[in-house]
Structure 1
Amino acid sequence: MEKNRMFAAVQTQSDKKLNWLYAFLLPAIVQFVLFIGFIIAGFLMDVLLAFLPTDAVQMLFYILDPVFLQLLAFAVPFALILVWVRFVEKRPIAGLGLYNKGAFKEFAQGLGVGTLLISAVVLVQWMTGGIELEETYFTGLNVLNFLIIFPFWFIQSATEELATRGWLFPSVARKTSLPIGLAVSSLLFSLLHLGNNAISLISLLNIALFGLFACLYVLKTDNIWGVSAVHAAWNCFQGTVFGVNVSGISVSYSLMRFTPTSAPTYLSGSEFGSEGSIIASIILAIGCACLVWRLYPRRAS
C-alpha cells in the first residue's frame, strides 16, 4: 500500500485507536456529505428551472433525456467532497486519485472496460431469454442525446467513485487493513442504493460486486479517472444505449429498447435493470477474478 499514491496521500495518526475511530466514522461522514450535497442541489435545480423560460425548458427536455437533471445534481456533492478533503482533512485533492498524468489514457481504457462489461451482460441476458429487443431508435435526435448526456452520466458516476473509491476506500484501508477497506467501500456503495426502485437481494449483491470490482480497478490503476469512466460507460450504455433501467431508474430516450420477458427475475433483472440479474453477478465475478489475477504478481513482488 505504501507504493500506491492514493494510499500514501492518506494521513494517519500515531495512535492506532484514532485511525480505527476515523475509519469507523468515515462511512457516516461520506453519507452526510452526500446528503447535504443533494439537498443543496435540489434547491439549485428548483431555482434554475424557475428562472428558465417555459419554452426553453420544453426544448431542453425535447432534445435531452430529463434524467440529466438527476445526473447533474451529483455535481454539488462532488464539489463538497473536494471541499471536505482540502479544508477539513487538509490534504491535496489530487490524493483522491485526480492525477493529471495519464488521465486521458486511463479514461479511454475505462470507457472500453465499462462498455465491454455491460454489453456482455445485456448480450447474455438476451441470448438466455431474460430480455428481448423491443425496438431500435437510431435517429439523429437520439444520437445527439447520447452524445450530450454522456458527460452527465460521467458526473454521476465520478461522484460515486470519488466518494466510495477515491475518498472512503484508501482512507479506511490505510488506517485499518486492505480487506476491511474493500469490504467497507463495497458494502457502503451497495447500501447507498437501498432506496432505489425494485431493489432486491441480487441487485444489492451485484452493486456490492461492482463496488469490489471498482476497488480492485483502483488498486490496479492508482487513479480515479479510469474507474469513473468504467462506471459512466456501464450506466450510459445500460440506459441511453440499451434502454434498460439503470439501478431502477428508467430513461426516456435510448438508441435501443430491451425489455424484461416473462423469464424469472434472476435472469431478466425485472424493473431494476440488468444489474438485478444473476448474469451481471457472473460477469462481475469474472471481472473481479481477472483483476485479482492481474494484481497478485504485483503485490507478491
Structure 2
Amino acid sequence: MPFKKDKIAQKFGIGYLTGFLAFAIIFAIAVFGGGFTTKIVWSSKNIVLFVLMLIGFLIQGTTEEIVCRGYVQGRITEKLGIFWAIALSTLFFASGHLGNAGVSLEGFVGLLAFGILTALLRFYTGDLWLCGALHGAWNFAEGPFFGTPVSGISGTELLFKSTSVPHHPWLNGGAFGIEASLTCIIVLILLSFLTVYLGQKYSDNKLDLN
C-alpha cells in the first residue's frame, strides 16, 4: 500500500481540513438555501461516542481508500493505465454503496464525483494519507458533526441534527443525503478540476491531457 513516510502529519492535516471544510461549505449552502432545518442535540454524555466516531470514521474512510484507491486503482494502473484505473476504481467505489438506504441516480453520481476526486488525489500525491484523511473527515462532518445521512445511513448525529426539507433535493439530496445534491456534485467536480490544475503544476505525476 502506498503510504509514504515523509510529511505524514502535513498530508494528513491537509486532507482532513479539506474534507471537513468541503463538506461544511456544501452544508452551509444547503442550509442557507432552505434545504435543511438544523438543531443542536449535543450533550456532555456524547463526548466519548464523539471521539470514538471521530476515530471510527477515520478508520472506515481510510479502509475504503486502501481498497478502492490503493489496491484496485493500483492494480488497474499496472494493467491498463491511469485513465482506466481512475474510471474503474471510481465505479467500483460507487457501486459498493448501491445497497445503502435511499440510494438514487443522483446519489450514485455524487459518489462517482467523490471517487474521481480521491482517485486524482491518490494519483498526484502517490500515496493514501491525504485521501484517507479527507474521506474520514467528510464522513465525520456529514454524520456526527452536522447530523445528515452518511450515504443513506442515518442516526449518527451527535452535535447537530439536520432534517431535510421536502422539495429541496437539489440542496439536501433527499433520503440518501447531501452527496445526492446538485450542490455537492458541482463542488466535487470543481475540486477535481482544482486537483488536476495543482497536480499538473506541482506533482511529479502527470496526466496526459493532450
The code of the aligned residue for 1:129 comes to G
| Equivalent residue number for residue 49 of structure 2 | 145
Instruction: Tell which deviates more after alignment, 264-273 or 236-245.
Output: 264-273
| Equivalent residue number for residue 34 of structure 2 | 129
Q: Of 55, 58, 70, which aligns to 1:154?
A: 58
Q: Is the 8 A contact 1:239 1:246 kept in 2?
A: yes
- List runs of 5+ in structure 1 lacking aligned partners: 1-95
Counterpart Cα distance in 1 of 2:135 and 2:122: 12
TM-score by length of 2: 0.92
SS of equivalent to 1:132: strand
| Equivalent residue number for residue 67 of structure 2 | 163
Root mean square deviation of aligned Cα:
1.6
Identity, % of aligned positions: 27
1:256: Cα distance to partner?
0.4
- List runs of 5+ in structure 2 lacking aligned partners: none
The code of the aligned residue for 2:159 comes to L
Q: Deviations over 1:227-267 (max 9, x none)?
A: 10100000011000011000000124410011100233222
Which protein is bigger by CA-based radius of gyration?
A: 1
Q: Deviations over 1:24-80 (max 9, x none)?
A: xxxxxxxxxxxxxxxxxxxxxxxxxxxxxxxxxxxxxxxxxxxxxxxxxxxxxxxxx
Q: Is the 8 A contact 1:268 1:277 kept in 2?
A: yes
Q: Indicate how the Cα distance of structure 1 residues 107 and 124 shifts in structure 2: closer, same or farther if over 3 A, else same.
A: same
1:198 and 2:106 aligned: no
1:105 and 2:10 aligned: yes
Counterpart Cα distance in 1 of 2:91 and 2:28: 27
The code of the aligned residue for 2:183 comes to I
TM-score by length of 1: 0.65
Instruction: Tell which deviates more after alignment, 106-115 or 168-177.
Output: 168-177
SS of equivalent to 2:37: strand
Q: Is the 8 A contact 1:145 1:253 kept in 2?
A: no
| Equivalent residue number for residue 84 of structure 2 | 180
Counterpart Cα distance in 2 of 1:282 and 1:273: 15
The code of the aligned residue for 2:28 comes to L
Q: Indicate how the Cα distance of structure 1 residues 270 and 177 shifts in structure 2: closer, same or farther if over 3 A, else same.
A: same
- More contact order relative to length (CA 8 Å, sep ≥ 6): 2
Runs of at least 4 residues off by over 3 Å = none
Counterpart Cα distance in 2 of 1:274 and 1:170: 29
1:222: Cα distance to partner?
1.6
Q: Is the 8 A contact 2:93 2:115 kept in 1?
A: yes
Q: Is the 8 A contact 2:148 2:157 kept in 1?
A: no
Aligned length: 205
Q: Indicate how the Cα distance of structure 1 residues 276 and 139 shifts in structure 2: closer, same or farther if over 3 A, else same.
A: same
Q: Deviations over 1:124-174 (max 9, x none)?
A: 1111111121x1023222233222221111111111100010111122122
Summarize the alignment of residues 195-274 of structure 1 with structure 2, pairs less than 5 Å apart: 195-274=99-178
Q: Deviations over 1:68-100 (max 9, x none)?
A: xxxxxxxxxxxxxxxxxxxxxxxxxxxx12232
Counterpart Cα distance in 2 of 1:300 and 1:132: 42
